[in-house]
C-alpha cells in the first residue's frame, strides 16, 4: 500500500527517529532542572534544536518558541493578542476563507469576543488577491493572518507580496507555514512577517511538536501574551515541561530539510510529472482544483469527472491512501470549504481527491498504484 497523504502527516524520517530514540534513552531529564547534568544535557538538546530551526528559517534563536504544534502556535499568535488589542483599541482581524481550522475557528471565537473579522475569498485559481486584503486594512486592523500554502490544494499564497506591503503599515502579519516549512525554504527566509507557525510532522518530524516564530521587529517581540498559564518554559509563551525528544526530533527534521530540500524538490517535481503523465494517458476526463502554476510540487488536488471520490477511495483503500480534503474534517464528510470558497461546483467537489507525497515516496510503486487507481476510476466513471 502506498502512502499519499503527506499533507495530513508525513512519516518520521529514519534519522529523526534515531535521534529521538537516543534522546529518550539518554536524555530523559527535564530541560528546566538545572541542578544536575541530566537537566543540563536535556537543555542542550533543546537549544541545539532551536538552532536547527532558526537556521532553516533564517531567524535568530531568541525568535523561536516550541509549542505542541501548528494548532497551538496559531492559537497563541491570534488569541495571544487580546491584551494588546484592549490596550491599543485595535479590534479588526483580516484572514481568508481557505485557512486551516486552527486559524478559522480561532478567529471565529475572537469575533464572539467582540473582534471584527473579515474573511477574504480566494480567486478561482485558489490564490488570495493581495489587493483585496489591503483594501480591508484600516486604522483598527490588528492582524492579518494568511497561510503560506493551502493544505488541500497545495496552492502557494502571495505571502511574500502581502508581507512586503504590510511591513510598511502598523499591522501584525501572521503566516501559517505548516505546509511550506522545509519545502519553500528560500522563500520563507525572505518573507516579511511578525509571526509564523508550523508543525514538525509535516516535514518528517514527530507529531505533537511545532514552532511559533515571533520576529523581533526593532528588537521587540510582537505583543503576544500566553494563553495558558503555568511554568516559565519558552519564556512563558508556552508553559509546560518541554518534550525534549519531540523538540530534538523537530530540530533534526529541520536540519535535514535545510541540507536536502533542493534535492527533495527535484524528486517531488519528478513525481508530479509522472502522475500527470499517467493521468493524461488514462483517457479520464479531469480538471485541477487550483491553478497548477501556483501549486506546490508535492500536492495534486484533482477532480476526476463522473467519479465519486468516496466510491473511489473505498475501492482503492487497500493500496492507495489519498484523501478528499483535510484530515481534520474527513470524518464527517461535508464538501471542502476550501474548494467551495474557490467557487468549484459541489458535483465537482464530490469527485475530487487530494494526493500528496514526499521525498521518500517510491516512484515505481507510486506509478503502479496510481495506475491501478486510475483503472478503478475508469470503471466507476459514469
Ligand atoms: N495549519 C495547516 C496549514 C495545516 O495543514 C495543519 C495540519 N493539517 C495545521 C495548521 C494544524 O497542525 P497540527 O494538527 O499539527 O496542529
The string of pLDDT tens digits covering residues 330-352 is 556 688 999 999 999 999 999 99
Best mutation site among 66, 67, 71 for ligand 1, i.e. most ligand atoms within 8 A of its Cβ? Answer: 71
User: 244-282 vs 14-26: helix axis angle to the nearest 10?
Assistant: 160
Tell whether the model's pLDDT for residue 306 goes beyond 80: yes
- Here the cell at position 53 is 530551526
pLDDT in tens, 131-156: 999 999 999 999 999 999 999 999 99
CATH number of 14-255: 3.40.640.10
| pLDDT band, residue 321 (cuts 50/70/90) | confident
pTM over 0.90: yes
Half-sphere exposure of 167 (CA within 13 A, CB side): 16
> How many angstroms does the Cα of residue 137 sit away from the middle of ligand 1?
26
Checking ipTM against 0.90, whether it exceeds it is yes
Q: Which residues form the pocket of ligand 1, taking CB atoms under 6 Å from any ligand atom? A: 69-71, 100, 102, 147, 151, 176, 178-179, 199, 201, 326, 328
Q: Average pLDDT for residues 114-137, to the nearest whole number?
A: 98
- 138 catalytic, yes or no? no
Domain boundaries, the chain: 2-8+261-377, 14-255
Question: Could you tell me the fold of the domain covering 2-8+261-377?
Answer: 3.90.1150
d(CA 122, CA 343): 9
Q: In what helix (H) or strand (E) does residue 107 lie, and over which residues does it extend?
A: helix 101-112
- Here the cell at position 85 is 488589542
d(CA 294, CA 299): 11
Q: Could you tell me which of 354, 349, 359, 374 has the C-alpha nearest to residue 278?
A: 374
- Here the cell at position 260 is 536536502
> How many angstroms does the Cα of residue 70 sit away from the middle of ligand 1?
5
Same fold, 2-8+261-377 and 14-255: no
Amino acid at each position: 500500500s502506498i502512502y499519499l497523504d503527506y499533507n495530513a502527516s508525513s512519516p518520521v524520517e529514519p534519522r529523526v527517529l534515531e535521534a529521538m530514540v537516543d534522546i529518550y534513552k539518554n536524555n530523559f531529564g527535564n530541560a528546566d532542572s538545572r541542578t544536575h547534568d541530566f537537566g543540563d544535557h536535556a537543555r542542550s538538546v533543546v537549544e541545539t534544536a532551536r538552532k536547527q530551526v532558526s537556521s532553516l528559517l533564517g531567524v535568530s534563536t531568541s525568535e523561536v518558541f516550541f509549542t505542541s504544534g501548528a494548532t497551538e502556535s496559531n492559537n497563541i499568535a491570534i488569541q495571544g493578542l487580546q491584551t494588546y488589542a484592549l490596550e491599543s483599541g485595535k479590534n479588526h482581524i483580516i484572514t481568508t476563507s481557505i485557512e486551516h481550522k486552527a486559524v478559522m475557528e480561532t478567529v471565529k471565537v475572537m469575533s464572539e469576543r467582540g473582534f471584527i473579522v473579515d474573511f477574504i475569498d480566494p480567486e478561482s485559481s485558489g490564490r488570495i488577491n493581495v489587493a483585496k486584503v489591503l483594501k480591508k486594512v484600516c486604522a483598527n486592523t490588528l492582524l492579518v493572518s494568511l497561510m503560506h500554502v493551502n493544505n488541500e490544494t497545495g496552492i502557494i499564497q502571495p505571502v511574500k507580496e502581502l508581507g512586503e506591503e504590510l511591513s510598511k503599515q502598523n499591522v501584525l502579519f501572521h503566516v501559517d507555514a505548516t505546509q511550506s516549512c522545509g519545502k519553500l525554504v528560500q522563500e520563507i527566509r525572505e518573507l516579511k512577517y511578525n509571526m509564523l507557525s508550523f508543525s514538525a510532522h509535516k516535514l518528517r518530524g514527530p507529531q505533537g511538536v511545532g514552532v511559533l516564530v515571533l520576529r523581533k521587529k526593532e528588537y521587540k517581540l510582537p505583543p503576544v501574551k500566553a494563553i495558558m498559564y503555568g511554568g516559565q518554559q519558552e519564556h512563558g509563551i508556552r508553559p509546560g515541561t518541554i518534550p525534549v525528544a519531540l523538540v530534538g526530533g523537530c530540530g533534526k527534521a529541520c536540519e535535514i530539510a535545510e541540507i536536502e530540500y533542493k534535492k527533495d524538490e527535484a524528486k517531488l517535481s519528478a513525481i508530479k510529472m509522472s502522475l500527470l503523465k499517467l493521468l493524461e494517458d488514462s483517457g479520464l476526463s479531469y480538471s485541477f482544483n487550483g491553478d497548477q502554476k501556483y501549486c506546490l510540487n508535492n500536492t495534486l488536488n484533482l477532480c476526476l469527472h463522473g467519479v465519486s471520490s468516496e466510491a473511489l477511495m473505498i475501492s482503492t483503500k487497500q493500496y492507495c491512501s489519498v484523501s478528499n480534503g483535510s484530515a481534520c474534517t474527513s470524518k464527517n464528510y461535508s464538501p471542502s470549504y476550501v474548494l467551495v470558497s474557490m467557487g468549484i461546483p459541489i458535483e465537482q467537489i464530490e469527485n475530487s481527491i487530494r494526493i500528496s507525497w514526499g521525498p521518500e515516496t517510491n516512484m515505481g510503486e507510486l506509478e503502479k498504484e496510481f495506475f491501478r487507481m486510475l483503472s478503478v476510476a475508469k470503471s466507476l466513471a459514469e
